[in-house]
Homo-oligomer: A and B are copies of this chain.
Amino acid sequence: MSCNLTFWAHGSSELIGTCFLVMIVVGSGIMGERLSNDQAIILLANTLATGAGLVVLIWTFQGISGAHFNPVVSLVMWMHGTISKRQLALYVGCQILGGIVGTWIANIMFDLPAWELSQNIRDNNNFFLSEAIATFGLVFVIIRTIQVNRYLVAPAVGLYITAGYWFTASTSFANPAVTIARVFTDTFTGINFISVPIFISAQILGALLAFYYMQSLPQGQSKVE
């Protein structure tokens, strides 16, 4: 097929996939806030929607672009040689753009201003540690399950984030594109821009640790025996 068609397929897949991912994260948070005052019930609904959405988005787009939807996943895939430097740039650009469009659509669907900045400064708790652990786990799960059985990546990621929303103090953003997109909504899932650098630096650290831990393991142990 032509290079342009591949470019269109890869770019649109990462853009639309990340757009839907952020619509799901932000939209379900808004719906939760509208229907309940109980923070635990809102987070349960947010968790259910995000976990379910991730599984189906990855199954749907995996055969087109790999369904990264996450700059640190694309970074690790480039370090591993799965994608080229040019693809890395395309993917990260489309993920960030798709994520911001996702926030924009979620706001519009719920009749909120399309663009607003979150006032939610996330600085209580130990969020650097929290995001580093969350992203270490996410990236390690992805690079292991790809080796075991590619169909497992989708449920593995969905289930990991389902747990992550609850076991980490930061609710496991674990994704720089989603972190940036969440700056632009002042609702349940928003994050103030001054908290972004600490989140993204922790996410990069966690991803690199997962990559190097994976490298340290003997390769003959990759398959489920």
Taking Cβ atoms with an 8 Å cutoff, the residues of A that contact B are 1, 5-6, 8-9, 12, 16, 20, 23-28, 31-32, 35-36, 38-53, 55-56, 59-64, 105-106, 108-111, 124-126, 129-130, 133, 137, 140-141, 144-145, 147-152, 155-156, 158-160, 162-163, 165-169, 213, 216-218, 220-225
Cβ of B35 and Cβ of A43 under 8 Å apart?
yes
Q: In the complex the two chains form, what is the Cα distance from A63 to B216 in whole Å?
A: 15
Known: A28-B166, A52-B51, A223-B63. A109 touches B133 (CB 8 A): yes
Chain B residue at minimum C-beta to C-beta distance from A42: B40
Most buried by B among A12, A24, A224: A224
Offer 22 A-B interface pairs, CB within 8 angstroms, sorted by A: A1-B221, A5-B218, A9-B217, A12-B217, A31-B166, A31-B169, A35-B43, A36-B39, A36-B41, A38-B38, A38-B41, A40-B45, A41-B41, A41-B44, A51-B52, A52-B162, A59-B141, A60-B156, A62-B224, A110-B125, A111-B169, A150-B224
Cβ of B42 and Cβ of A41 under 8 Å apart?
no
Cβ of B38 and Cβ of A40 under 8 Å apart?
yes
Q: In the complex the two chains form, what is the Cα distance from A217 to B38 in whole Å?
A: 43
How many copies of this kind of chain does the complex include? 4
Residues of B near A49 (CB, < 8 A) are: 162-163, 165-167
Cβ of B109 and Cβ of A224 under 8 Å apart?
no
Cβ of B221 and Cβ of A59 under 8 Å apart?
no
Q: In the complex the two chains form, what is the Cα distance from A7 to B159 in whole Å?
A: 29
Cβ of A166 and Cβ of B27 under 8 Å apart?
yes
Residues of B near A42 (CB, < 8 A) are: 40
Residues of B near A41 (CB, < 8 A) are: 36, 38, 40-41, 44
Q: Identify whether the interface residues of A are mostly helix, strand, loop, or mixed.
A: helix
